[in-house]
Amino acid sequence: MKPTVEITGYRGKPYGHSVTVLFILLTAAISAPAMAQARFVPEPGRVVVPVSIQAAGGGGSSLREAERAWRADPQRQDSALRYAREVFVLGLREGDLRWYGAARAALQPWWTARELPAEGHFMRALVRQGFHDFDGGIADLTATIALEPQRAEAWSWRFSLYLLTSRMDEARADCTAIGQRFGAVEGQACQATLQYRTGQAAAAVPVFGRLVQQPDLQGPLAQDWLRYHQGMALVAAGRPADATQVWQQHLQRHPGSHLVRLSLAETLNAQGQHAQALQTSLATVQPTDGLLVQALLAASALRDPRLADLQAQVAQRMDAQTRRNEALIERPQMMFYVRHRADLQRGLALARQSWAEQQEPTDAALLIEAALATDRPEDARPVLAWMQRTGYTDPTLAALATTLQTRLGR
């Protein structure tokens, strides 16, 4: 039986990176080669999953059932796939990448298999992209589509990865196919996402405004996905106040949406609303690394008395990840090094490595900031080429790009 856990934002749509992307958040860069470490992958027999509010409550019953079935027979593929799906969706929803390690462990017996059922290729694709193997993820998604051409979630995730890696022609082709195969609503959402990522944010905003009102798109995951992108389109269109309002209202209804909460905290900090950013970041019982770094940035700007404690918490998490031989949870690490000025040289190295693998607006801004702060503007020149090629812009990135061009003597 095919697992029924929903991994997607709506009718097959992924959250994005954030993943983002993703990946969500959602979500993302890896260490420079000299510092690179494999993300922690436990042995199947000793998987230690993190404490999860959702898993600890009633919503965790399906997870516990899936885990028991998998542990009873780790070589049984359908049980392993179900468990991998359960823990992956928790990692996606909660922004805790340790769940991806659990999913990777479940898929270990088939990690190098050339032929898998559609669900096997699909789940391996999602875990691969979670570990920044984007080419491998795209290859598995392509295999999934070949086996099940009407599997909307595979098309949508492949579109997301094409967008993440700036393969714009392929992203446009998949967006067209999504609209043709799965209907106008799916096509409109895909097209609106593509619009704001290619310099047409003003056109995307009203589309998302209509989509979020669709009666059949009112589920929590559907709304997470749509509200996230609605806010990001507003930010790109130069309307950050409207974006924060959208996200604040969404969190009142769905306080567990990590992707929206993190985006709100980042935008509030960017707008100098540090008190609100601090409150937003610390509103959860167990803040993720991303939220903890945003809290640290806000507390630093405010000279809040909690600053020393937040610094100690971030340092403790870094140390714990190092002892597990695990790369830090990536973009938060870059933000800590670059925006908190903890280690600008290391931040620049991470930002350059990140940019070589994926190109998203936040990564673009971080690379320029790091290059300017270390007096190495040439290192950020690729961002200017990316902006010209894709058409993407937003007020913050445009201002950084202008400063960079001045420093480059253009």
Per-residue confidence band for 220, with pLDDT thresholds at 50, 70 and 90: confident
- As a whole number, the mean pLDDT across the chain is 85
Query: Is 391 among the domain residues?
Result: yes
Is the pLDDT at 58 greater than 70? The verdict is: no
C-alpha span between 165 and 337 (Å, rounded): 24
Query: Is 283 among the domain residues?
Result: no
Beta bridge partner(s), residue 25: 23
What is the secondary structure of 105-165 as a DSSP string? HHTGGGTT-S---HHHHHHHHHHHHHTT-HHHHHHHHHHHHHH-TT-HHHHHHHHHHHHHT
C-alpha span between 255 and 149 (Å, rounded): 35
Is the pLDDT at 16 greater than 70? The verdict is: no
pLDDT at 278: 98
Query: Is 55 among the domain residues?
Result: no
- Average pLDDT (20-34) is 27
Is the pLDDT at 323 greater than 90? The verdict is: no
Q: Helix, strand, or coil here: 267?
A: helix
Tokens describing residue 36 = 């690179």
User: Per residue in 341-355, pLDDT tens?
Assistant: 999 999 999 999 999
Is the pLDDT at 5 greater than 80? The verdict is: no
Counting the structural domains of the chain, the total is 1
pLDDT at 318: 75
C-alpha span between 172 and 191 (Å, rounded): 8
Per-residue confidence band for 252, with pLDDT thresholds at 50, 70 and 90: very high
Is the pLDDT at 260 greater than 80? The verdict is: yes
Query: Is 179 among the domain residues?
Result: no
pLDDT top residue among 89 and 246: 246
Range of the domain at 341: 330-410
Per-residue burial over 66-94, b if 16 or more Cβ lie within 10 Å, else e, is bbebbeeebeebbbbbbbbbbbbbbbbbb
Determine if residue 195 is left, alpha or beta; phi over 0 gives left, psi from -120 to 50 gives alpha, anything else beta. alpha
pLDDT at 324: 66
Whichever domain contains 343, its CATH number is 1.25.40
User: Per residue in 383-393, pLDDT tens?
Assistant: 999 999 999 99
User: Per residue in 147-198, pLDDT tens?
Assistant: 999 999 999 999 999 999 999 999 999 999 999 999 999 999 999 999 999 9
Cα angle value 223/224/229 (rounded, 5°): 95
Query: Is 312 among the domain residues?
Result: no
pLDDT at 322: 65
Query: Is 395 among the domain residues?
Result: yes
Query: Is 152 among the domain residues?
Result: no
Query: Is 407 among the domain residues?
Result: yes
| Amino acid sitting at position 300 | S
Determine if residue 375 is left, alpha or beta; phi over 0 gives left, psi from -120 to 50 gives alpha, anything else beta. left
